[in-house]
Amino acid sequence: MANDSFLIKAHAKINWALNVLSRRSDGYHILDMLVQRIDLADELVFGHAGDLQLEVTNAPADLDTRNNLVMKAALALKQATAYQGGARITLKKRIPSQAGLGGGSADAAAALVGLNQLWDTGLTIAQLQAIGIKLGADVPPCLCQGLMRVTGIGEEITPIKGAREYPLLLIQPGKGLSTAEVFKAFDADLDLAANALISSNLNQLDQVCKNQLQPVASRMLPAIDQAVADLLAHGALFAQMTGSGSVVFGVFESPEKVKQAHSVLRDRWPVCILSKTLG
């Protein structure tokens, strides 16, 4: 390492929880997440240069350094501060790509911090986050340490005190997954659910309909799971909790079958109501 250079670690993150609340018109998703940084990290070394230079080691073979988030972060910081010089950046990859660990975002965040120091541009973390959110939703959280609640598209961050260290074992079971493609598939699931209901393809509902509150509610009231199981055992093609609970509903193939289930389950469950959806 040259005398004028220095190293910054770009720590990965994990999501203890990730809830998708809605999708904005620009395609970004409104999220509610519990995020914590971990010790797995890429390393970035910064030094002065006349122009912007990026060398990447231990990177995937298909990595395009010209479109790398580190370069995008550098260009964004130059534009925001009108800095005229360059930098020599060496990035050593350790975080698996397309893994949900925020490796690219962590690199971009580290680039903003490192270049802000190298170029003495004097921006605050909040100002760096404002630049970072334009690069990716995971960049602002990667400018924070420890445990945090992250909402919005990633720009609303509430640090949580008292974070502890827990041993982790990370496994990537196969190829990486594109964040954009996963969210696209998530959105498509809601479309599939709507189409399944319209076309009476009820057997598909279990694959595409989920209530993110159900596991929490079931811990508070375990009978929810039993009610779902009873509905399925008595002919429901799909059963799930509605809203925040505690009512669960079962979807049946015909009026006759739902009446048969009702005749049995009304003796087991005090509130057992026949109903139907409205067209």
* Residues assigned a catalytic role: 13, 138
Q: Residue 158: count other Cβ atoms within 10 Å of its Cβ.
A: 10
- What pLDDT does 2 receive? 56
- What is the per-residue burial (b if ≥16 Cβ within 10 Å, else e) of 78-101? bebbebeebbbbbbbbebeebebb
Copy the structure tokens of residue 224: 């929810």
- What pLDDT does 133 receive? 94
Pick 6-160's CATH classification: 3.30.230.10, 3.40.50.720, 3.40.50.12280, 2.60.40.10.
3.30.230.10
- What pLDDT does 3 receive? 64
Residue type, 53: Q
Bridge partners (DSSP) of residue 29 are: 23
Cα 63 from Cα 66, distance rounded (Å): 9
Q: 6-160 with 179-265: one CATH topology?
A: no
- Would you say the pTM of this structure is higher than 0.85? no
Domain ranges of the chain: 6-160, 179-265
Tally the C-alpha atoms within 13 A of residue 274's C-alpha that lie toward its C-beta.
12
Pick 179-265's CATH classification: 3.40.50.720, 3.30.70.890, 3.55.50.30, 3.40.50.300.
3.30.70.890
Tokens 């979807």 correspond to what residue? 251
Low-confidence ranges of the chain (pLDDT < 70): 1-3, 61-63, 65, 279
